[in-house]
Structure 1
Amino acid sequence: MAEEFEVKGLHDEHLERVGESNHEHSDKFGSRLAVMTALFATVGALFSYQVGSTQNEAAMSKNNAAIVKTEAGDQWNYYQAKSNRQNLAELAMDLPGLDAGKYKANAARYSAEKEAIKKEAEKLEAQSRKWDEASEALMHQHHRWAQAMVALQIAIALAAITLLTRKKWMQWGSYGVAAAGVALGFAAWMHF
């Protein structure tokens, strides 16, 4: 039986060793970058959820503010109607031939009813302001979450470019942008 032998020269062996060394090095580089990119994407997905959640909460708060503001407007309209009735009763007191005592009692009743209506309207306006303030705070938080998510998306894009170019400085740039994104996410979480 004839056995086959492969005879390699020193040059061939050197090229194989260099190729294997580069392959091992590039696999480590690519693998590490792939793991980091997966982590960036996972954290970015969490931030994306928070972006939508805070936006929805802010919209609901703004909606509640509008509803309560409408209720306050209704109370102010009711107050105005009572004021008109009070004014008419006061005018009727001065007309000759009418029961001035009856209209004086009506005017006093309308005046007392107006005070309760006014307090309710002011209370509703205060609630509306609180809902508006809550909405503004949530929108601020929403913007922080969105900034954090965008920073992580940029970090992922930089990681992809890094994988193609194999530039170490770009890898560190990707990590830096991701760190900025995480810091923005922390600021959103802490309501800064």
Structure 2
Amino acid sequence: MQVTPTRLPEVLLVEPRVASDARGFFMESWNQRDFDAALGTSVGFVQDNHSRSSRGVLRGLHYQLTRPQAKLVRVASGRVFDVAVDVRQSSPRRGQWVGVELSADNRRQLWVPAGFAHGFLVLSEQADVLYKASDYYDPSDERILAWDDPHVGIAWPLHEIGGRPTLSAKDQVAPRWEAAQLYPW
């Protein structure tokens, strides 16, 4: 497994070793020992999530305030533009974002640590996104940051979907940066 820091050094690009031949491929998508060694700490995942979405669906930017979730995100089919935003009040990189393309073809994964909002835009006709979470989902603890907040300024590849994304009802009314609750640490 190769682990590369992004321009937000806590957010990591994880590239598993892949063995390919004429029959197809094999890869370990998760190995606790190797991942802990790469991070230098132990991460206990308690929940696996699977999301299927159509082209143009944007999910996010979501985070939990008092029970933050670290996530390891990958795409099993299709491709997405995956984003992490630093929402830690005390961080010198507060409000900064990083985005990478994750796809079934490139098999890359994104480590989104606690303290970061997460979201993705589906670029293919359909995408299956799988992610491990370090804490349980708690709807009463969920917070959302507007996907198009000008303070954060994410450069979503909207040209690839032909215009505005499709949002859930809660994502349509997500607060802007000025009104968002940040992590207190």
TM-score between the two structures when normalised by the length of structure 2: 0.17
More strand by share: 2
More helix by share: 1
